[in-house]
Amino acid sequence: MNAQATISWRNRLDKILYFFPFQLLFLQLKRNYLLLSFWLLLFAFVLDGIGSKYGISHLFLYPEYRGCNDSIAYSLLGFSIGGFIVSYNLYTYIMHSHRFPFLATLDKPLYKFSINNFIIPLTFILVYYWSSYQFQVDNELVPQKEAFLNLLSFTLGVFLMAGFSSVYFRLTNKNIRTFTEKVREEGKEESLASSALQKPSSWEDLEKRTEDWRVDTYIFSFRRVLLARSIKHYPREVLEKVLAQHHVNASLFELMIIISFILVGLFREHLVFEIPAASSAVLFFTVLVMLFSAIYSWVKGWTFPLIITIILIINFSPVLTSFFNLETRVYGLDYSGEKDDYNSLVLKNSVTLDDYDRSLKVQIKSLENWKSKVSKGMNEKPKLVILSVSGGGLRSALWTMKSVLTADSAMNGELLNNTHLITGSSGGMIGASYMRELVRENVLDYSELSAEPCFDDISRDILNPMILAMTTHDLALRYRKVEVDGESHLMDRAYSFERKLNINTSNRLNKKLSDFVEPEFESRIPTMIFSPTINLDGRRLIVGAQDFSFLCLTEEGELQENVCYTKLFKDRNPFNTEFTSVLRMNATFPYVLPASKLPTSEIVKVADAGLRDNFGLRLSFNYINELKEWIEKNTSGVVLLEVRDTRKNEQKKPPPKKLLNELTAPLGGVYSNVIRTQDYDNELQLDLLRKSLSVPVYRVPFELELANEKKVTLSWHLTKLEKEAVLSGVEKESFLNSLKELKVLINGN
């Protein structure tokens, strides 16, 4: 009795332990490290475990399609997730079905395999439901009913892809009975064409690798669990043939997915194909999984050594390296002919003393025009207002526009009227540029400023088309080109960035540098100076519509820090440069946007201005020092209006004491304090400037203050809650106090 009970208990335990879904899960944990890494990435994305600072999770939790976050966007994301789940099942089936030969005895074996391989996909979908629902309701302020409908659309998308793949494999895959009957009818074995992508394993290898993977029970349908059939009475050749035929059909399905990926990239500039960024990322993962599957089917355990070897060959081969190099250019700049040299001697000779004197006189004349404009009816000397704005993606762009326009409205337009110069980096300069055009066109209604659509325009998503371009073009096949001003350029994420920026701002920024030469000189609009960082040597590339040679000449023997763009490329029509390209160069955050290659014989690229001067203050100090005599003689002081999307003196919490934190502390500490280090340097430079100038230098901060520990991501995509948090910053006491101070300084009241 006891023995029977023990046997019965052990049998039940075996049926659980050797339950097919559990065996497949153990298999993933033991052998499928590649697939697990993709799943871990997806889990990290939806749980905000990766790139939380940059809002990557937002793209998954609240997808956008054609400017709308609706059921269509969710269904497209669900469809792409469904595709990844199918690829996950296909990969596992192709790689490991030989370990479970009982599958060949089943009707619709791939379907049976897929429903048993459910644990990880189902867990992900449940996690996604919870995360997305919470995010929609709490961060995007979506009504609960609408959030539920969005998730329903997501589910329909998943099932639509599952249904499509199920129909395909049901029509193409054969089971063992079909093969046996065929053999009996013809009296010979049916030959199978090998797939171009797949190479079936030999039966000896199949037999050798199945012994450790026992299966007693499996899910037959959603309502039935059955015992696994014995395969001892089936011919080995027939079992092998069944599985091989399934691999062929799977490879054809993989090919269809890859073709779909290429088509999306081919037509992505059309709004219909501008799928959600998360969908394109998942689609890219799907293609990678399928390519790895194809390679593995041929070389088996040599897959990763082969891939590493190919990467090393490409890395050390100049021809292959140039082929895979993403050469993003500056639109409008002439790249034809022989490339220019770039070295210390060339830089030194690019600006002469005559250039210095001439450019300084032109800038003084521009300042005289500014003084004439602001001094009408005034008996006293005006204060020179210099606006310096910080980088920070759309967060900074929105805050710059909201804070400065609110202050300008409160001062009856006198703030921007008194502003002669604007410097800064990244998103702040994009917001300032759009604001400058709106003021120039006189289209703003200050009486209804809070309802102005310009704040919605500048904070519209730019990230989705960039990620789509990255996954379908930049990281894959770089086959699309576009012509701008007679020059051929890759249709990469840089092009997508500029195109979407123009769309969001109603083409108000779709201009050339030359379009700003006259209005800036005449002081009809503030002068702008951009300073992207040169990756090769850390210098600043000084870009603008005026001749800024006076900022780029140093004493004999001194190390030259600034390089004048219009002088360095004077023979390449630099004033024909697209203004959006200037904005892009100034906002090239590493990896998010590709660094722009300059037309030089050496590989010289430019990246984000924030790497050197995130707030534009250093450049403002340079400008004041060079024009010191005129400022002292013609103004009653300088007002440095510093617009920051973060608090300067905000105290950081130390990281928890964990092993990984201790290991990354030496590098992480330096990187995380780059902005703070710039603040220390700016304080020192400001102190020296004040001591050297005979007129006062005032510093007024417009710092974005967030309530209740709220955070706004550093991204080219903002949620509704994040937008509201930024816009409400003008209601905080810190901003109101700064505004009062600014009014007194400029208006005297």
- What HEC string does 692-722 produce? HCCCCEEEEEEECCCCCCCCCCCCCCCCHHH
Nearest partner of 297 among 26, 29, 81, 90, judged by Cα: 90
Q: Which of 70-79, 248-257, 346-355 has the weakest average pLDDT? A: 248-257
| Chain centroid offset of residue 35 CA | 23
CA angle 325, 328, 334 (to 5 degrees): 120
The residue behind tokens 């509704």 is 720
pLDDT score for 559: 67
Question: Does 316 score more than 70 pLDDT?
Answer: yes
**Strand stretches in 216-329, DSSP E:** 217-221, 224-227
User: What does DSSP assign to residue 512?
Assistant: B
SS3 of residue 472 by DSSP: helix
Nearest partner of 101 among 205, 10, 248, 180, judged by Cα: 205
Which amino acid, one-letter code, is at 63? P
Identify whether the C-beta of residue 157 lies closer than 8 Å to the C-beta of residue 81. yes
Average pLDDT of the segment spanning 29-41:
84
Of 472 and 643, the structure prediction assigns the larger pLDDT to: 643
Helix (H) or strand (E) holding 533: strand 533-534
Question: Does 194 score more than 50 pLDDT?
Answer: no
Highest-confidence segment of 254-268, 309-323, 333-347, 562-576: 562-576
pLDDT score for 100: 78
Helices (H) and strands (E) in the chain, counts: 32, 14
Of 91 and 235, the structure prediction assigns the larger pLDDT to: 91
Dist CA 575 CA 748 (whole Å)? 39
pLDDT score for 198: 40
Identify whether the C-beta of residue 398 lies closer than 8 Å to the C-beta of residue 723. yes
Integer CA distances (angstroms), 16 to 222, 563, 624, in order: 17, 71, 77
pLDDT score for 457: 94
Dist CA 714 CA 392 (whole Å)? 6
pLDDT score for 476: 64
Question: Does 455 score more than 90 pLDDT?
Answer: yes
Q: Which of 103-107, 347-351, 520-524 has the weakest average pLDDT? A: 103-107
Which amino acid, one-letter code, is at 669? G
Which amino acid, one-letter code, is at 730? V
Q: Which of 292-296, 322-326, 398-402 has the weakest average pLDDT? A: 322-326
Dist CA 712 CA 360 (whole Å)? 41
Helix (H) or strand (E) holding 275: none
- Four-point Cα dihedral 668, 672, 673, 678, nearest 10: 130
pLDDT score for 308: 83
Question: Does 228 score more than 60 pLDDT?
Answer: yes
pLDDT score for 661: 52
Integer CA distances (angstroms), 412 to 351, 416, 620, 746, in order: 41, 10, 25, 12
Of 263 and 45, the structure prediction assigns the larger pLDDT to: 45
Question: Does 440 score more than 50 pLDDT?
Answer: yes
pLDDT score for 112: 82
Which amino acid, one-letter code, is at 177? R
pLDDT score for 184: 46
Confidence of residue 140 (pLDDT cuts 50, 70, 90): confident
Tell me the pTM: 0.84
- Assigned token pair, 504: 């969001």
Count of beta carbons in the 10 Å neighbourhood of residue 734: 14
pLDDT score for 90: 79
Identify whether the C-beta of residue 239 lies closer than 8 Å to the C-beta of residue 69. no
- Assigned token pair, 363: 């800038």
Integer CA distances (angstroms), 637 to 385, 618, 630, 662, in order: 9, 18, 11, 48
| Backbone CA torsion sign across 731, 733, 735, 736 | positive
pLDDT score for 162: 80
Average pLDDT of the segment spanning 470-481:
73
Identify whether the C-beta of residue 713 lies closer than 8 Å to the C-beta of residue 55. yes
Of 476 and 615, the structure prediction assigns the larger pLDDT to: 615
Question: Does 130 score more than 70 pLDDT?
Answer: yes
Of 486 and 593, the structure prediction assigns the larger pLDDT to: 593
Dist CA 358 CA 376 (whole Å)? 28
Identify whether the C-beta of residue 206 lies closer than 8 Å to the C-beta of residue 96. no
Percent of the chain with pLDDT over 90: 35
Identify whether the C-beta of residue 576 lies closer than 8 Å to the C-beta of residue 330. no
Nearest partner of 81 among 290, 281, 292, judged by Cα: 281
Which amino acid, one-letter code, is at 225? V
Confidence of residue 185 (pLDDT cuts 50, 70, 90): very low
The residue behind tokens 């490290």 is 33
Average pLDDT of the segment spanning 128-157:
91
The residue behind tokens 């604001």 is 435
Integer CA distances (angstroms), 540 to 393, 578, 593, 621, in order: 20, 19, 18, 14
Question: Does 188 score more than 60 pLDDT?
Answer: no
SS3 of residue 680 by DSSP: helix
- Assigned token pair, 616: 């534009």
Name 86's Cβ contacts closer than 8 Å, sequence gap at least 6. 114, 161, 162, 165, 253
Dist CA 209 CA 211 (whole Å)? 6
Of 655 and 451, the structure prediction assigns the larger pLDDT to: 451
Which amino acid, one-letter code, is at 161? M
The residue behind tokens 């195109």 is 499
Q: List, for residues 646-692, the tens digit of each pLDDT value.
A: 887 665 665 555 555 555 445 445 456 777 788 888 888 889 999 99
Average pLDDT of the segment spanning 5-12:
58
Integer CA distances (angstroms), 408 to 340, 378, 411, 456, 572, in order: 44, 19, 5, 19, 39
Confidence of residue 189 (pLDDT cuts 50, 70, 90): very low
Question: Does 643 score more than 60 pLDDT?
Answer: yes
* Pairing status of strand 562-564 against strand 540-542: parallel
Confidence of residue 474 (pLDDT cuts 50, 70, 90): confident
- Helix 303-316 / helix 277-299 crossing angle, nearest 10 deg: 110
Dist CA 542 CA 551 (whole Å)? 8
Of 297 and 203, the structure prediction assigns the larger pLDDT to: 297
| Chain centroid offset of residue 741 CA | 38
pLDDT score for 206: 42
Which amino acid, one-letter code, is at 323? F
SS3 of residue 325 by DSSP: coil
Dist CA 18 CA 12 (whole Å)? 10
Q: Which of 200-214, 562-576, 602-616, 724-738 has the weakest average pLDDT? A: 200-214
The residues that bridge with 642 in the sheet, in sequence order, are 388, 701
CA angle 194, 198, 203 (to 5 degrees): 75
φ, ψ for residue 500, nearest 5 deg:
-70, -35
CA angle 578, 579, 580 (to 5 degrees): 90
Where does 509-609 have alpha helices with state H? 517-521, 565-568, 579-586
Of 450 and 543, the structure prediction assigns the larger pLDDT to: 543
Identify whether the C-beta of residue 154 lies closer than 8 Å to the C-beta of residue 75. yes
Count of beta carbons in the 10 Å neighbourhood of residue 226: 13
Nearest partner of 136 among 63, 78, 80, judged by Cα: 63
Dist CA 265 CA 167 (whole Å)? 26
Dist CA 671 CA 387 (whole Å)? 27
Burial class, 306, CB count within 10 angstroms (exposed 0-12 / middle 13-18 / buried 19+): middle
Q: Which of 8-17, 81-90, 367-376 has the weakest average pLDDT? A: 8-17
Q: List, for residues 713-745, the tens digit of each pLDDT value.
A: 888 888 888 898 999 999 999 999 999 999 999
Nearest partner of 462 among 389, 532, 393, judged by Cα: 393
Mean predicted lDDT score pLDDT of the chain: 81
Helix (H) or strand (E) holding 572: none
Average pLDDT of the segment spanning 623-650:
90
Which amino acid, one-letter code, is at 562? N
User: What does DSSP assign to residue 592?
Assistant: T
Identify whether the C-beta of residue 292 lies closer than 8 Å to the C-beta of residue 87. no
Of 739 and 161, the structure prediction assigns the larger pLDDT to: 739
Identify whether the C-beta of residue 216 lies closer than 8 Å to the C-beta of residue 70. no
